[in-house]
Amino acid sequence: MKKVWMVLLAVLGLAGLALAQTTVRVGVLLPISTVAGKAALNGVQLGVDQVNAGGKVKIELVVVDDGNTPATAVPALTKLMTVDRVDIVIGGLASGVTFALSGPVKQYQPLFLCIGAASSVVEQAFSDYNRFFHYHPWDYHNVAAALEFFKYLYDSGARRVAILYEDGPFGSAGIQTYRQQLERQGYTVQAEPFKSGSGSFTAILTRLKGFRPDILYWIGYDVDALPIAAQARQVGLEPKLIYGAPPAWPTGFEKNKLSNDIAGMTAWLPSVANNESRRFVNLYRRKFGEVTDEYMAPMGYVIALSLGKALEAAGSTDKDRVAAELAKVQMDTPFGPLSFKPSDTGRTRYQGFNQSIWLQFQYLEGSRRPVFPPSRSARPLRFPGNY
């Protein structure tokens, strides 16, 4: 009889737990066929696993592909809103896509947890929308972080910067600002546009050779990384530093000898030494059998964890109550501390990270190593590099 009572109590206890558990369906809208999108999705799933394992909140993901284009993203969001009827959406990786989503998001009014979209144009587009939580730094944060590095390079003797920028919105939008800021630091700048994916850089690089740049700074996409690295050598450009700013780097690039000494900027690397980062790396390796260099993975993880905290605190799936709790979240993350404040321009109410999360890395012996700022560097920057 005693056993029967114990079993009954256990069943009632479990039933009580189940009743207390808050279950919510969350839409995930990412370009899942891209390196960054796939990494972001893995990160979100990892975070959701952790939240669900806590037992107080249960998140169910409804994943849709935004195709990395507005034409696919807008119908995908509409499906999440009208068919899947979710109230919370994690997504918005590319700026152009997120800008296109601003209208439909305002129409359907979800709680929108934005993972990327650094462009100030997006900040402007969501300026009157108070259910918009932007985790990623804005472009002016990115510029500030890069310029801090360029100041360091100037102090190390660099004087001339050749900028190669792709002539689409990604590369050309802030080029005048970059140029002015670098000139203000004392640099002489020559900037040249190029067609991303064309693979033909020898002519432009030959032209830049006459400028004798100390730094070759290229703003383009992953497809341009190897051709620029190879063709700079082929025309004998020989800068002191090749610095790239693509959204993602090519798969296998780190194993290519031409990547050695090339520098770039990222928000996170697996070698970042803080407890949350180490914990994330271990969890990621356990679940996916590998470690990623893509910072969108921990960004997705952080979003899922912070949402879990807010849901738990709200004790409800009501999006406004969740938003109110999310606004109060303070947590340690692989990037450092996270809390929401108004953006620097004051346009949006909830901005997560700023320029402090950016670090400069250099490809050294087959992997990316943090080299700047000195407080976060694992190795000294090789300057001049050997190209």
DSSP three-state, residue 114: strand
Which of 245, 219, 263, 211 is CA-nearest to residue 384? 263
Q: CB nearer to another protein: give 204 or 303.
A: 204
Q: CB nearer to another protein: give 37 or 298.
A: 37
Tell me, what amino acid is at 349?
Answer: R
- Rounded to whole angstroms, how far apart are CA atoms 31 and 40? 9
What sign has the CA pseudo-torsion 183, 185, 187, 189? negative
Q: Give strand pairing partners of 190.
A: 162
- Rounded to whole angstroms, how far apart are CA atoms 325 and 239? 50
Q: CB nearer to another protein: give 188 or 316.
A: 188
The minimum distance between CB 195 and another protein, in angstroms, equals: 5
Q: CB nearer to another protein: give 107 or 200.
A: 200
The minimum distance between CB 221 and another protein, in angstroms, equals: 8
The minimum distance between CB 98 and another protein, in angstroms, equals: 18
Q: CB nearer to another protein: give 110 or 171.
A: 171
Q: CB nearer to another protein: give 123 or 222.
A: 222
Q: Using alpha carbons only, how large is the chain's radius of gyration in Å? A: 23
Please give the residue ranges that form the binding site for another protein (CB under 8 A): 31, 33-35, 38, 68, 164, 167, 192-195, 197-204, 206-207, 210, 221-223, 225-227, 229-231, 233-236, 250-253, 255-258
**Cα 377 from chain centroid?**
20
- Rounded to whole angstroms, how far apart are CA atoms 133 and 309? 15
The minimum distance between CB 189 and another protein, in angstroms, equals: 14
Tell me, what amino acid is at 71?
Answer: A
The minimum distance between CB 143 and another protein, in angstroms, equals: 22
The minimum distance between CB 201 and another protein, in angstroms, equals: 8
CB 46 within 8 A of CB 301: yes
* Cβ contacts of 66 within 8 Å, gap of 6 or more: 29, 30, 31, 37, 72, 73, 76, 77, 91, 93, 94, 97
The minimum distance between CB 366 and another protein, in angstroms, equals: 10
Which of 66, 69, 70 is CA-nearest to residue 28? 66
Q: CB nearer to another protein: give 215 or 262.
A: 262
